Amino acid sequence: MILWDPNVLARVRRLHLLAVQTVEGLLHGGHKSRRVGANVEFADYKDYSPGDSLRDLDWKVLARSDRLVVRRYEVETELQCVLVLDASGDLSTGQGSPYTLPELEGTKFGYSLVLTATLAYYLIKQQEPVGLLVLGGSGPGAGAYLPARGGGAQLARMRRGLVALISDLMEEPEGWMPSLSALSRRRPDLAVFHVMDRRELTLDFERPALYFSPEGGEALPIDPIGAAPELRGVLNAWLEELRGGLAEHRGRYYPAWTDLPLHAALAPMITGRRAMPDRDLGAV
Amino acid sequence: MNLGLLAPLALALGALALGPILAHLAQQRPSERVPFGAMMLLRRMVKRLEKRRRLKDRALLALRVLALLFAVLAAAQPQLSWPGDPAAIGAFGRVVLIVDDSLSMSQRDAGGTLLTRARDEALAALEQLPPGTLCGLVLIGGEARQLTPTLTAELGLIRDALVNLQPSYGRTDLEGGLREARALLAGERGEVLVYTDEAGPTTISEAQGELARLVERGGVVLPRPTRNDPPANLTVLDARYGDGLEGGSVTLRVANYGSVDVEAPVTVGLPDGSEITAFVELPAGGEAEERVTVPPTVPGGVAWARVMDTDLEADNTRYFHLPRVGASRVMVVDGDPGATPVRSEVYFLERALAPWGGARGGVLPQVVAPSGLAALSAEEHQVVFLANVADPSPWAGKLLDFVRGGGGVIFSAGDNLTAERYNEPLRALMPAPLERPRDLIDLTASGGVPLELPDPSLELFEAFAEEGRQAFRRVTTRRVMGLGAFTETGWTETSQDGVRVLMRFEGGAPALVERRIGRGRVLLWTSSFDLGWGSAPLQAVFLPFTQRLVAYLGGESAGGAARAEGVVGEVTSLRLPFGGLTLRLTGPDGADVPMETAQGEQTELSFLPRLPGAYTVQVGDEPPVALIAVNTPAEESDVRAPQPLTAATAAIDPALTERHVRLGPWALGLAITCLLAQALVARRESS
């Protein structure tokens, strides 16, 4: 028996409310999305083997040739959507997002959580099955995979579908870009929501300090005043690298600044517009 | 060049330099920790900046520390000082020029000598003196002398004196020169310009005291070193004819004061005009010895040795005495020929005089009977031995002339001698009146009475070492010729000739008595030269003693002339064993040299030589009665200047010969520059 924690239930309700508000705002005055219905087409026969469903036996063939054969069909899948949420430690930082749960204090993860919920709500409202994959992190949901409702297809078997990655992408691209390449060969629709905290990327801090990653590793002594200009150059180069890599693998890049409204990140995907460059960050 | 600090305690502020260093280190490791979600970007940035930033950080630290150190240095007021003169000469209105015209200043210099260089520099300094400056001139070659009795404003006088300056052969009298300068300044402040090559191992050290006194009285000594670098000079330090029995060679000691090894020819010039040349290898800064063999027969006189050297020619030649080389012909008159040679009176004497035969030895004895005295010749013989001659009275006049001309006569006693045949006829010749032979009392019963130990201060015995003199103690005698009363100044009342006892037997009996007559001497040996009265011929000392007797009596040098040595610029004195004669001193250039004499029974003669070479003392046109070898001062040949005058002056009062510059403002400027530079670097880094 599962005892639901009231705090968790409240958090979910809050999350639902935020998602509803955002999606309704986005869809207000818009068009209904495409409805994908079930469809079955004959493919071929195969010899019956124990365990096959008797419902699939071709009785006519049995009658004519006294052979037990099973009809096989090509199944036209639904638009299966998998939301991949980055829950790694690096997302626990950030203070600039008003679009987050109060308990998460405006962190990047809080923003990512709301964004994921909103996206899921939107897709569900579009009657698309939605699954959730949580990457990294720790706690009850870490590493969880929630399959898309309405079928047993796996991500790897998707011939058509949507994979939405919500992450700050704070790993060296050469580490995860090859995985993206393998995914792109299965022709999914890949959308990457790049969660970014403006204060972090502009080094908007006052005093020199030892900066360290919540994921561990060596702390670096940084004077933010002196380092900010240099970091801007590094940031621009990194973003160019990301965009180039994603474009190469037919992925779509959506910047998600935590200090901007959620629809600023979702609208380009939903409406099909290109993301607007961030004026505060110049090339971003 | 020295660096000093006027406020050294300010250096303690240097501890402040730790401040920037600690701050820099503290800055590198902030204490506050901030979780950061974009560490990947920071790592990329740090990697990109690491090298550049490290350089900047170190540059910043260095600049800050330097700024502080320069500031501290400025507070300590550093002062740089180095040897140097005041900007202008004549600031005190009095200037004394000391010019070294000593021998060493004749060293060759580009187009002239060191003296001409010093003269030109002194003239140049003279021209630059402010109008009205009082000036004086002192020369320090030989004996220091003022060329201006007082300081004078008529610089033309000094200019003329400098233009007509001539080199001397004297030593550097720097001490005297400083004394004269002090006298000229008369206690007032003034500058003393010293133009010298500082040659001589003790020139500067001897002048230290006077230098201090001059500085104490207000003199500002400004050395003007005038020397060749590197130094170079060869000289003959010493030349000496072997004075052993064998003789025959001149030993030369040659020095090389230069910095490179050289091989130089050395020539020995003999009194007869012949020359002998040898080559000597001279190490840098060292000496070498060379022996030159002279011919078997060379007349005595002053010889010279000269090394070929163009750097300083004035000291190339060294003059030295060369005794007569070759056999001295000695007449030995045998007063008691025996039946066999061994029984002869002069058998032992003849062999002692010529142990290797006359051709090889220094003495060529000619043994004759008493009648052979008729052949005595001053030109042919130098010494006559009369051994137990019964009656020499027929040749008394001949013997007297022989002695007065410089010859030597030795009488030895024996049974044949009688007072009657000696005392009156040979009264002008004999050292003492003879009496009867008498036996000595032999208290030890050892066969005779031994001789007393000879006095080494006597010229006759100075050639004998202590062991040699002890050998005389083995000579014994049983009998001697008794002597009548005589005084140390002569046994006749009218004679002025000197008489002295050179040696005695134990108990006081005279053994050897000398009498000087004219330029010669007469000796009386109161025992016998054979074994009749004593054991002398059997003793080892008999041979060198008889040889020495011949040399002593004039067999060494021609005419028995007295010999002396002197140095240019220094008073040279000698004593002649006669008085009452008019003497003439002739220099090496043939000119008469002024001298001072004190006449008595002997003659004291002194003079100041100005030139090196052979000086002769003569009576009229007769052969020289004295020869003086005068040389240049040896210390002037050492041109290496071991102790510079500049250092000696600085040791007394460094401020006199130093120039200063204060570095405080420079250090402050550097500190400000470093501060600005670090600000620029910091700003550039932060932007």
**Closest Cβ–Cβ partner in A209, A217, A226 for B39:** A217
Q: Which CATH code of 3.40.50.880, 3.40.640.10, 3.40.50.280, 3.40.50.150 fits the domain covering B328-556?
A: 3.40.50.880
Residue B111 backbone zone (phi > 0: left; psi -120 to 50: alpha; other: beta): left
Of A91-100, B43-52, B289-298, B545-554, the least confident = A91-100
User: What's the full length of chain B, in residues?
Assistant: 687
* Tokens, residue B480: 């001697």
**Closest Cβ–Cβ partner in B27, B41, B687 for A234:** B41
Question: Checking DSSP bridges between strand A189-196 and strand A161-167, what pairing results, if any?
Answer: parallel
Cα maximum dimension of chain A: 86
Confidence of residue B162 (pLDDT cuts 50, 70, 90): very high
Q: Which of A199, A213, A218 to mutate to test the interface with B (most CBs of B within 10 A)?
A: A213
Q: Give the per-residue pLDDT at A21.
A: 64
Confidence of residue B182 (pLDDT cuts 50, 70, 90): very high
Asked if A52 and A170 sit in the same domain, the reply is no
User: Do the chains contact at A238 and B49, CB–CB below 8 Å?
Assistant: no
CA closest to B33 among chain A residues: A210
Domain that holds residue A82: 78-271
* Omega within 30 of 0 (cis) for the link into B230: yes
Q: Give the per-residue pLDDT at B405.
A: 81
Share of chain B above pLDDT 70, in %: 88
Q: Give the per-residue pLDDT at B448.
A: 86
Contact B429, B399 (CB under 8 A): yes
User: Do the chains contact at A211 and B32, CB–CB below 8 Å?
Assistant: no
Q: Which of A95, A105, A210 to mutate to test the interface with B (most CBs of B within 10 A)?
A: A210
Question: In whole numbers, what is the pLDDT of chain A averaged over residues?
Answer: 74
CA distance A213 to chain B (A): 5
CATH code for the domain in which residue A260 is found: 3.40.50
Q: Give the per-residue pLDDT at A102.
A: 66
- Inform me whether the pLDDT recorded for A231 exceeds 70: yes
Window 658-687 of B: residues touching A by CB (8 A cutoff) are 685-687
Window 71-110 of A: residues touching B by CB (8 A cutoff) are 90-94, 108
Q: Give the per-residue pLDDT at B559.
A: 40
Q: Give the per-residue pLDDT at B531.
A: 85
- Inform me whether the pLDDT recorded for B65 exceeds 90: no
Does A19 or A63 have the greater pLDDT score?
A: A63
Q: Is B94-227+641-652 a CATH 3.40.50.410 domain?
A: yes
- Inform me whether the pLDDT recorded for A8 exceeds 70: no
Tens of pLDDT, residues B373-416: 998 887 778 899 999 999 999 999 999 999 988 889 999 999 88
Confidence of residue B100 (pLDDT cuts 50, 70, 90): very high
Of A99-108, B46-55, B260-269, B552-561, the least confident = B552-561
User: Do the chains contact at B30 and A197, CB–CB below 8 Å?
Assistant: no
Of A179-183, A254-258, B37-41, B119-123, the least confident = A179-183
Contact A256, A166 (CB under 8 A): yes
* Tokens, residue B322: 């060369």
- Inform me whether the pLDDT recorded for B212 exceeds 50: yes
- Inform me whether the pLDDT recorded for A205 exceeds 60: yes
Of A156-165, B130-139, B513-522, the least confident = A156-165
Contacts B45 to A, Cβ<8 Å: 227, 230-231, 234
CA distance A111 to chain B (A): 14
Contacts A208 to B, Cβ<8 Å: 27, 30, 32
Q: Give the per-residue pLDDT at B507.
A: 86
Highest mean pLDDT among A174-178, A184-188, B10-14, B105-109: B105-109
**A284 occurs within a structural domain:** no
Of A144-153, B347-356, B507-516, the least confident = A144-153
Q: Give the per-residue pLDDT at A187.
A: 65
Give the DSSP letter string of B115-155: HHHHHHHHHHHHHTSPTT-EEEEEE-BSS-EESSSS-BS-H
Section B11-40 average pLDDT: 76
Contact A130, A124 (CB under 8 A): yes
Asked if A169 and A237 sit in the same domain, the reply is yes
Q: Give the per-residue pLDDT at A251.
A: 86
User: Do the chains contact at B30 and A221, CB–CB below 8 Å?
Assistant: yes
User: Do the chains contact at A226 and B685, CB–CB below 8 Å?
Assistant: yes
- Inform me whether the pLDDT recorded for B93 exceeds 60: yes
Window 22-51 of B: residues touching A by CB (8 A cutoff) are 27-46, 48-49
User: Do the chains contact at B45 and A91, CB–CB below 8 Å?
Assistant: no
Coil, strand or helix at B165: coil
- Inform me whether the pLDDT recorded for A152 exceeds 50: no
Contact B127, B158 (CB under 8 A): no
Confidence of residue A38 (pLDDT cuts 50, 70, 90): very low
Domain boundaries, chain B: 2-32+49-83+664-686, 94-227+641-652, 234-320, 328-556, 560-631
Contacts A227 to B, Cβ<8 Å: 42, 45, 49
Contact B290, B234 (CB under 8 A): no
Asked if A61 and A189 sit in the same domain, the reply is no
Contact B619, B625 (CB under 8 A): yes
Q: Give the per-residue pLDDT at A74.
A: 55
**Closest Cβ–Cβ partner in B30, B35, B45 for A93:** B35
**A216 occurs within a structural domain:** yes
Asked if A254 and A129 sit in the same domain, the reply is yes
Q: Give the per-residue pLDDT at B596.
A: 92
Contacts B43 to A, Cβ<8 Å: 220
CA distance B72 to chain A (A): 31
Q: Do domains B234-320 and B328-556 have the same CATH topology?
A: no
Asked if A128 and A188 sit in the same domain, the reply is yes
Q: Which of B24, B45, B53, B685 to mutate to test the interface with A (most CBs of A within 10 A)?
A: B45
**Closest Cβ–Cβ partner in B33, B45, B687 for A209:** B33
**What's the domain count of chain A?**
2
CA closest to B39 among chain A residues: A213
Window 198-237 of A: residues touching B by CB (8 A cutoff) are 200-201, 205, 207-214, 217, 219-223, 225-227, 229-231, 234-235
Asked if A233 and A263 sit in the same domain, the reply is yes
Question: In whole numbers, what is the pLDDT of chain B averaged over residues?
Answer: 84
- Inform me whether the pLDDT recorded for B672 exceeds 60: yes
- Inform me whether the pLDDT recorded for B470 exceeds 60: yes
Section B82-94 average pLDDT: 74
Confidence of residue B158 (pLDDT cuts 50, 70, 90): very high
Q: Give the per-residue pLDDT at A12.
A: 60
Section A178-185 average pLDDT: 77
Q: Give the per-residue pLDDT at A39.
A: 45
- Inform me whether the pLDDT recorded for B475 exceeds 50: yes
- Inform me whether the pLDDT recorded for A157 exceeds 90: no
Asked if A101 and A210 sit in the same domain, the reply is yes
Share of chain A above pLDDT 70, in %: 64
Q: How far is CA A77 from CA A34, A39, A41, A152, B98, in A?
A: 14, 8, 12, 10, 123
* Tokens, residue B79: 């002062």
Here the ipTM equals 0.73
**A179 occurs within a structural domain:** yes
Q: Give the per-residue pLDDT at B513.
A: 92
**A88 occurs within a structural domain:** yes
Distance CA A253, CA A266 (A): 11
User: Do the chains contact at A212 and B34, CB–CB below 8 Å?
Assistant: yes
Does B142 or B29 have the greater pLDDT score?
A: B142
**Closest Cβ–Cβ partner in A207, A213, A234 for B36:** A213
The residues, ordered by sequence, that sit 6+ positions from B167 with a Cβ below 8 Å of its Cβ are B101, B103, B105, B106, B113, B115, B141, B314
Q: Give the per-residue pLDDT at B265.
A: 94
The answer, for B87 touching chain A at a CB cutoff of 8 Å, is no
Q: Give the per-residue pLDDT at B658.
A: 67
**Closest Cβ–Cβ partner in A200, A207, A208 for B38:** A200
Does B241 or B122 have the greater pLDDT score?
A: B122
Q: Kindly report the CATH number that applies to the domain delimited by B560-631.
A: 2.60.40.10
Section B256-281 average pLDDT: 92
Q: Give the per-residue pLDDT at A16.
A: 67
- Inform me whether the pLDDT recorded for A34 exceeds 80: no
Q: Which CATH architecture has domain B234-320?
A: Sandwich (2.60)
Distance CA B94, CA B182 (A): 11
Q: Give the per-residue pLDDT at B24.
A: 65
Confidence of residue A138 (pLDDT cuts 50, 70, 90): low
